[in-house]
Amino acid sequence: MGDFPRDLVRAMARRAGWVAAAVLLLAGLMAFRGPQGIGSLFEKYQEIRELQQQNADKAREIQALRERIKRLEESGSEQDLEIRKQLKLLRPGETEFLLPGGKSSESQPSN
């Protein structure tokens, strides 16, 4: 009769162990699914890498624009060329030639 409670305790502990194992297994399976699962985590890491690449591209663009601004600030002739190009202005005596395809050639003085 002294072994009965011990056997009961062992059986209950065994059953509790199986229940705990099942709960852990289900929790592990749920970690792979759903909006907060591992798959979603990998998607977020991929998105972060893409955004970091876009940021690096934008940083290079910004640097190139800063260098262009510096060149324009230092050179009056580059400013003149840029303004004339943007506004499509010609100096007196210059002729613009339109090429097939809608592109215009560099302005050449007509003599």
Which run of H or of E encompasses 54? helix 38-74
Domain locations in the chain as residue ranges: 1-31, 35-83
> How open is the CA angle 87-91-82, to the nearest 5 degrees?
40
Query: Model confidence over 36-68: pLDDT tens digits?
Result: 777 788 889 999 999 999 999 999 999 999 998
Q: How far apart are CA 64 and CA 60, in angstroms?
A: 6
List the structure tokens of 79.
């400013």
Query: Model confidence over 66-102: pLDDT tens digits?
Result: 998 898 888 888 888 888 777 777 778 877 777 887 6
Maximum distance among all Cα pairs of the chain, rounded to whole angstroms: 124
Number of neighbouring beta carbons within 10 Å of residue 11: 10
